[in-house]
Amino acid sequence: MKSNMEQRRELWQRLTSKGMTQGELSDTPLHSSPWFVKVLMAFSGWLAALFLFGFVGIALEHILESAVICFFTGSGMIALAYVMLMKMEADRRDYRVSKQEFLEHLALAISLAGQILVAIAIFDVFDDAFEKSTMSLVVFGCLQAGLSIIMPNYLHRLLSAMAAALCWYFACVFRSSGYAGLDYLLVPILMLGVSLLWLNELSLARFTRILEPVAYGLTLSIVYIKGTLMFSAHHLVWYLRKQEDVLVSPWVGELLTTLVLIFVVVRLMQSLGFALKSPQTLAAIAGCGLIGLISIESYGVGLGVMIVLLGFYNSNRLLMGLGVVSLLFYISSYYYFLDVTLLVKSLTLLVLGMVLLIGRKMVLKTWGPSNEG
């Protein structure tokens, strides 16, 4: 089997022979760490930020007493982190291998601690009580969305994109004028955004330093939100006792989720050369419809399937793994979903299993290598 570097050189030569490249191939690949190294960095960055925030809170106690000072100190820290990260990004491009891990971690910790200060200021300005937190969450979410684009650091972008989606989700849940089920609307909107990002990842490869971490951040946030919806949404409604205001029911959310899944599947079928009205595409749409119907009961199945398909389409094994893990999580945690009896759950899964196995038979029959034309 060829080594990674051989594969890299081979691809370069193949593209060069067709006149598709410009410039020279660098000796060393652009710096990229495996995902678990990024997780380790995120963990230590967050921990350091908490201690740094503790330091600011104790040493500069008076800062926390004024929202204005809090805001400007926090913004200053974020700006400082931006300058540090910008310098490192320029170095990374020049020297290829970054040797400034300490500064990168420090910048991340400074920015995260600064964000905590800004969050305190925002919540202080907009809120007098728990119920009025919606606006703060929306504003802080917008700030995070901005940071996910601006900050020149992979991990920062990922965390900010995730934080933005989660802020908007909690803004929907803790809506000032009562719970309206808007979170059920937010999930398919985020799913659509995520699917567009992954489907066009390679066409937008020039912006991959921005779009890839944002796509991962949003994907992780939807996986989390879907899990939260499964466990808490109905209890939350009960807790807030404002069921009469609910505008969007869970089934509407699942219907929209299914439409996004169908959109993704149609795009994938088109990429394989199948027309919209071809029997194969129509069968795939019907399969998605059935999965969507089951997802009304067993939350998250449609989302998990979508992530797995997008991961396979992009040859992105990490994304596929995330999809498989989320699918296993959703199916197994269905046991704890209290709204329906185990008998109904059992029947739902029976139908799901039958649909999937019959679907496999159909795929084998109509799309097997012998039938490929």
Partner 1 sequence: MSTPAEKANARRFLLEFSENGNIPNGQLEQAIDQANIHPGKTAWFEFLDKLLLILGSLALSVSLLFFIAYNWQELGRFAKFAMVETAILLATMVYVTRTVKDLAAKMALLCAAISLGVLMALYGQTYQTGADPWQLFFNWALLITPWVLVGRFSILWVLWVGLLNLSLVLYHQTFGSLFWSMLHGQELLWVLFLFNLLVWGVWEIAAKIFSWLRDDWSLRVIATATGFCITWLAIDAIVRPWGLEGFWVWLLWYVAVVYGYQFIKRDLFILAGSCLSVISVVLTFMVDNMLDFDNAGSFLLLSFSVIGMGAGAAYWLRSLHTRWLHEE
Rank residues 40 and 142 by Cβ distance to partner 1 and give the closer one.
Answer: 40
Considering the complex, what minimum distance in angstroms separates the CB of residue 3 from partner 1?
5
Locus of tokens 């760490």: 33
Considering the complex, what minimum distance in angstroms separates the CB of residue 214 from partner 1?
14
C-alpha dist (Å) from residue 155 to 139, 177, 243, 251, 344: 22, 35, 39, 35, 42
Contact 51, 116 (CB under 8 A): no
Considering the complex, what minimum distance in angstroms separates the CB of residue 362 from partner 1?
9
- Phi/psi-derived region of residue 87, left when phi > 0, alpha when psi is between -120 and 50, beta in every other case: alpha
Locus of tokens 């299914």: 258
Rank residues 209 and 242 by Cβ distance to partner 1 and give the closer one.
Answer: 209
Rank residues 49 and 186 by Cβ distance to partner 1 and give the closer one.
Answer: 49
Own/partner contacts of 235-243, CB < 8 Å, gap of 24 or more, are 236/173, 236/179, 237/179, 237/181, 240/178, 240/179, 242/178, 242/179, 243/179
Other C-beta atoms lying within 10 Å of the C-beta of residue 289: 14
End-to-end CA distance of the chain: 31
DSSP per residue, 150-176? HS--HHHHHHHHHHHHHHHHHHHHT-T
Considering the complex, what minimum distance in angstroms separates the CB of residue 247 from partner 1?
32
Rank residues 150 and 182 by Cβ distance to partner 1 and give the closer one.
Answer: 150
Rank residues 241 and 273 by Cβ distance to partner 1 and give the closer one.
Answer: 273
Considering the complex, what minimum distance in angstroms separates the CB of residue 164 from partner 1?
23
Considering the complex, what minimum distance in angstroms separates the CB of residue 113 from partner 1?
8
Considering the complex, what minimum distance in angstroms separates the CB of residue 302 from partner 1?
12
Contact 221, 161 (CB under 8 A): yes
How far apart, in whole angstroms, are the C-alpha atoms of residue 18 and residue 91?
A: 32
Considering the complex, what minimum distance in angstroms separates the CB of residue 81 from partner 1?
12
Rank residues 66 and 271 by Cβ distance to partner 1 and give the closer one.
Answer: 271
Joined together, the tokens standing for residue 328 give 């296993």
Positive or negative: CA dihedral 325, 218, 296, 242: positive
Rank residues 248 and 327 by Cβ distance to partner 1 and give the closer one.
Answer: 327
Rank residues 189 and 275 by Cβ distance to partner 1 and give the closer one.
Answer: 275
